Structure 1
Amino acid sequence: MKKNIILLAGVLLTLTSCSLSEELNDSITKEASNNILGADQALSSAYLQLRSFQNNDNQLMLQEHPSDEMAGPTRGADWDDNGTWRALHLHTWTPDNARILSSWEQLYKGLAFALDAQSFTGITASQKAQAVFLQSLYTFYITDIFGQVSMREPGEAVINLPSKNLKRTEAIDFAIQILEAQLANLPDGTAATSYIANKNAGNALLAKMYLNRAVYKATDADGKPQAGPYTFTAADMDKVIAYSDAAMANRTLQTNYFENFGPTNGEVSTELIFTAKNTNTEGGDIQTLSFASLHYNQTPSGWNGFVALTDLYNKFEALDTRRSASVPGFTDKHGLKAGILLGPQVNENGAPILLRDTPNTQLSFTQDFSLTNSTEEKGMRVVKYFTDYSKPTRPSNDFVFLRLADVMLMKAEALARKGNTAAALIIVNTLRVKRGASSFVSLTLSNILDERSRELYWEGHRRQDQIRFGTFNAAVQGRATVTDVHVLIFPIPLAKLAANPNLVQNPGY
């Protein structure tokens, strides 16, 4: 009965995703087994659930809104949403926050599919390794965001409460252990097949988990996170370096930075290590990442919401291509640049785009904004996954989880934490020169944190990075106060506490 229940959910999830499911599964050798279709379907569902990261409601927002990169101003009645977005930026969220609840549900749904795939007797070694990679990935995110993980073993009956309940200090070791055991069984892959869990992806995820391990180990007995400074052991940093080297094999930096996020990124980018695949006929809501920021009168018409913080914009040199750039097939179509948008905005003919509420006045984005009462032009906007104008509501941009530049910076950080700043400097300057920025003469850990922001802004890494470097609780634009250490992890949603007595609310909530 258990398999039928979970499998039905997988079938419903993938009814409109047949071609992608076939593409994912065609990369796996199928055994002659009565159960193999069940394993295929459950594994496909675990992959497809990754699309929950790419919209403006779930876990991506928990990594960006509380950071020094993003905010969500209220504009009259627009974007008030009962204070949900303000609470994320102000670090005043509560266990009933809608974004926290939806993130919990989406992450645990993916974890359930990954576990279910492993319960079928006909599963191949490659399928098993991919399912374990996804289990490790979902476990890592749950650990990072919520500080504890509750899960069933593969094949365990759903009528019972989950038997495995891991504290923050235990969950990170578990996620590492299961992935290391299956790493050799992951398939080889290329940047063009980065939507399939592969050895490069496994190595990159292990590097990221070892890099953050010190943060999760710094937890009080009652589950309260410690603020650091954290103890990054030489052994863990050696693991980061080794796994990063393996993850970077057969990947090169993309010449045009924004091609890593465009409609053809899955075909042209040489940087991609692990992604969630989208096509013009099926996919998630990746277009919402641009729609949520763009103004109503821009094309595509946006919802005039999320903005970039001044601290982010000011980190860039003028010639750094990552800050803003014209993109053929995008800028010439409707005047939009990719990256951070500041100042007067024009259409494809150079004519002014006008404000909605003030006739005959040009739209000009400003660096300042108010969380509680912004007018429509306030705040810089961001277009990272620029739109495919042939299919603006179903774009084919693949969502990027892991890519080469991230791994390079992880290795540089590990080297620097071991005291080898000379080797780290070479890596960082290689990246900076590729992006049109000047080379550093020397390097500090603070430089590396800033470089991660320049390279990875609005990609879902910033909260995690700031916590690791000890800057997350500091005051930023729109938040004048230093916040308490308990907000380093989010609360367990109230409905989930009521459903599972093995869960314990995180301290401070």
Structure 2
Amino acid sequence: MKRTILKFSFIALSVLMVMSCHDDLDQLPIDPDSVTEQDVFANANQAKGALAKLYASLALTGQQGPAGQPDISGIDEGFSQYTRMLYNLNELTTDHAVVGWGDPGLPDLHGMSWSSNNDFTEAMYYRLAQEVSFTNSFISNATLLTDPVVEQYIAEARFLRAFAYYNLMDLYGSVPLSTEISTDLPEQATRSEIFDFVEQELLDIQNTLGNDGSVEYGRVDEVAAWALLSKLYLNAEVFKGEARYNEAVEFSEKVINSTYSINTNDANGNGSAYDELFLADNNVNGAQNEFIFTLNFDGLQSQTFGGTTFLTHASIGGNMDALEYGVNSGWAGLRTTKSLVNKFDNSDEELNESFTTLSDWAIIGDATPNEWSAPDTDMYEVEANIYQLFVTLTDGQMKFRKDNSWDVNYGGTDGVLELNSSTNINVDAGRYLVTLDLTNDTYSLESIYNYLPDARAMFYTDGQSLEIEDIPPFEQGFAVTKFKNIDSNGNQGSDNTGNFVDTDYPVIRLPEIYLNYAEATLRGGNGNQATAISLINEIRERAYGNTNANITGSDLTLEFILDERSRELYWEGQRRTDLIRYNLFTTDGYLWPFKGDVQNGVSVPEYRTLFPIPNDLLSINPNLRQNEGY
């Protein structure tokens, strides 16, 4: 799929653009009038090429890659790519991210102060509207072919249309509903009506899509329909105003019982099978086994400044070496807040449980827990003459000493120890792994966050502060190293210039459905709690590499599931939807740094749970009404 479907026919692309010149959602594509639909839909094989564009239009942005002939005008082409906009609207507006760039309208997203003229909320609407337009055109023309396989292609197109409407419903609420080509100005359907349409489409096509696991990687099969229904029913109270948790459990179970499985292949041998999900060879390294719906990227064949190229480059800055992540430069934009970091938190005591031998060496000083008074804070012997301790320190000074006595002590500077020195070691406040190495007469204070036992905590901390006092400097906020353009053998992706990334983007993967099942069960669905616990422990065993962090029945709460979703799925376009479902997105029930554009966070008006309908469309179509508050 990565090498075939995404190498789509540019003729197919062009004709779909021609056929999209109608008012499905009042979308505004550019029209490269070049060929006719007869050229594309001459037979089933040609139709499959056109089907490729339906997938590719969610991954790419135009007709020549990465820029130059955009599908959508009025915004930088790279900005308009679907997953880049999904990140901006569903992650940047939450506790998961801030961005230091000042492009007009972008800081307003993490400040939750966007207007009805925001370029980014408009770009996402047009991108999804274009997908609806493309799919309607495809369905209309493919229906004329008699080859039986075309029925499956049409079902895939209907899935992609339902997926686009799922996003439109989630992000914008009530939107026009169009299923055929028309020049009439469409009426605005209610959010409930959009819900019903998506539900019925998915139920109708589930038996026409390819059987479980039978299609090429990157195309959807029947399991994708079940997975999207699982998501739809989990959010039914928000989308439709009625609980559908039994159905959420039912379709989650169908996915769970499918051939898809959690990846446990630690292909790069680093002790975790989680990071393989976000490497350049995630289409073959085992990660693909849990990918239910992906958008495929190739640094040579499908170039874009969105997708995982955006997520990888934009997350690199400060002291980070871009080459270690398989790219040629960092764009120094995206970081995360302490609210996400703290979800991986283990206390100093819990981390020190990994040590077994208490030593006669300790730390003392006004930076240490007991300041200059006894008792000293004891360290642990990890091997001969090497001592360590996880500890929270404050601004100040410290020294190492033996047996709570000044007879033998060490100070020092720049990592070098000085025996019985009058020089104290200067400390900046933070949480550290403190190491005393008497084999080399050195010491070190390393960020504790580099040693969290949960392998999903993928943060870069050197030179980065946990606290964010001012957003633009990249060094404020931890950097996220989740997406990389290196494969399981440490090799760079296929584009040797380092510009474009190979890593595929998992739109829906199996652990999300595990968490859907658990949450729907707790919210009253007819699932089994023991099964929910087992599913979550399967996720956590991969994260920790053992059963040490497994949960029991008393741990399984809705709050725990929300935090586990954050730990497992951060930066994958889920967070805003989750917070809205928990009534935490706009309220003061949960505050995070710069929520409401205030450093410590404030509540914002409830209407922010929806984005505005683009003003241009309101002026074109009098049938449309703007969302409340805009």
TM-score range, shorter chain: 0.7 to 0.9
Whether the aligned pair in 1 keeps the contact of 2:58 and 2:82 (CA below 8 Å) is no
Secondary structure, aligned partner of 2:132? helix
What residue number does 2:336 align with?
308
CA distance in 2, matches of 1:142, 1:100: 11
Q: What's the TM-score, normalizing by structure 2?
A: 0.64
Are 1:406 and 2:486 counterparts? no
Query: Paired residue for 1:63, among 56, 67, 90?
Result: 90
Amino acid corresponding to residue 93 of structure 2 in structure 1: P
Q: CA deviation at 1:105?
A: 1.0
CA distance in 1, matches of 2:15, 2:41: 20
Deviations 1:73-109 (A, max 9, x none): 3xxxxx1113x23211121111111111111111111
Equivalent of residue 434 in structure 1, options 542, 549, 552: 542
Q: Which residue of 2 aligns with 1:257?
A: 274
The alpha-carbon deviation at position 60 of structure 1 amounts to: 2.5
SS, match of residue 311 in structure 2: helix
Q: Displacement of 1:278 after TM fit?
A: 1.8
CA shift for structure 1 position 5: 5.9
The residue that corresponds to 1:500 in the other structure is: 621
Q: CA–CA distance in 1 between the matches of 2:43 and 2:622?
A: 34
Query: Per-residue CA shift, 1:39-58, capped at 9, x if unaligned?
Result: 43442221111215867752
Q: Identify the match of residue 86 of structure 1 among 84, 95, 107.
A: 107
| Partner residue in 2 for 1:186 | 209
The equivalent of 1:459 in structure 2 is: 572
- 1:469 correspondence with 2:589: no
Task: After TM superposition, give the deviation of residue 421 of structure 1 in Å.
Answer: 3.8
1:378 to 476, 491, 509: 476
1:239 maps to 247
Extract unaligned runs of 5+ from structure 1: 16-31, 74-78, 219-230, 324-338, 345-363
Of structures 1 and 2, the larger Rg is shown by: 2
Deviation at 1:237, TM superposition (A): 1.6
Partner of 2:501: 395
CA contact (8 A) 2:84 2:310 kept: no
Q: What amino acid is aligned across from residue 475 of structure 2 in structure 1?
A: E
1:240–1:410 CA contact under 8 A, matched in 2: yes
Q: Name the SS of the counterpart of 1:453 in structure 2.
A: helix
Q: How far apart are 1:430 and its partner, in Å?
A: 2.0
Change (3 A) 1:446 1:39: same
Report the equivalent of 2:238: 215
Q: 1:169 to 1:408 in 2, by over 3 A?
A: same
Which residue identity lines up with residue 626 of structure 2 in the other structure? Q
Q: 1:55 to 1:117 in 2, by over 3 A?
A: closer
Name the structure 2 match of 1:365: 464
1:85-484 pair list within 5 angstroms: 85-120=106-141, 121-122=144-145, 124-154=150-180, 156-157=181-182, 159-162=183-186, 165-190=188-213, 193-218=216-241, 232=243, 236-248=244-256, 249-255=258-264, 256-268=273-285, 269=287, 270-283=289-302, 284=304, 285=306, 286-295=308-317, 298-299=321-322, 300=327, 301-316=329-344, 317=346, 318-323=452-457, 339-342=458-461, 344=462, 364-371=463-470, 374-388=472-486, 389-390=492-493, 391=495, 392-418=498-524, 421-436=529-544, 438-441=549-552, 442=554, 443-473=556-586, 474=588, 475-479=591-595, 480-484=601-605
Partner of 1:334: none
1:369 to 1:191, Cα distance in 2 relative to 1, 3 A: farther
Most deviating of 266-275 and 51-60? 51-60
Distance 1:371 1:36, change over 3 A: farther
Q: 1:488 aligns with which of 587, 606, 609?
A: 609
For residues 455-476 of structure 1, give each alpha carbon's deviation from its aligned partner in whole angstroms, at most 9, with x where no partner exists.
Answer: 0000000000111111111421
CA distance 1:288–1:452, shift in 2 (3 Å):
same
Q: Does the 8 A contact of 1:147 with 1:168 survive in 2?
A: yes
Query: Structure 2 vs 1, CA of residues 189 and 48 (structure 1 numbering), >3 Å: closer, same or farther?
Result: farther
**Does the 8 Å CA contact 2:248/2:520 hold for their aligned counterparts?**
yes
**Cα distance change, pair 454–429 in 1 and its aligned pair in 2 (3 A):** same
- What is the CA-CA distance between 1:484 and the residue it aligns to? 1.1
SS at match of 2:572: coil
One-letter identity of the residue aligned with 2:453: L
CA distance, structure 1, for counterparts of residue 253 and residue 91 of structure 2: 28
Q: Match of 2:489?
A: none
Distance 1:191 1:41 in 2: 19
| Larger mean Cα displacement after TM superposition, 127-136 or 274-283 | 274-283
Per-residue CA shift, 1:297-355, capped at 9, x if unaligned? 631321111111101011114200111xxxxxxxxxxxxxxx2212x2xxxxxxxxxxx
Q: Secondary structure at the match of 1:195?
A: coil
Following superposition, the deviation at residue 194 of structure 1 comes to 4.0
Change (3 A) 1:54 1:453: farther
What TM-score do you get using the length of structure 1 for normalisation? Answer: 0.79
- Which has the larger share of strand? 2
Q: What residue number does 1:348 align with?
A: none
* 2:507 aligned counterpart, secondary structure: strand
- 1:274 is paired with a residue of what secondary structure? strand
Indicate the SS of the match to 1:148.
coil
Q: What SS does structure 1 have at the residue aligned with 2:94?
A: coil
CA positional deviation for 1:67? 1.1
Q: Is the 8 A contact 1:421 1:444 kept in 2?
A: no
Q: Which runs of 5+ in 2 are unaligned?
A: 1-12, 21-28, 33-39, 61-79, 265-272, 347-451, 487-491, 596-600
Aligned residues: 429
Letter in 2 for 1:483: V
2:426 match: none
Compute the displacement of 1:382 (Å). 1.2
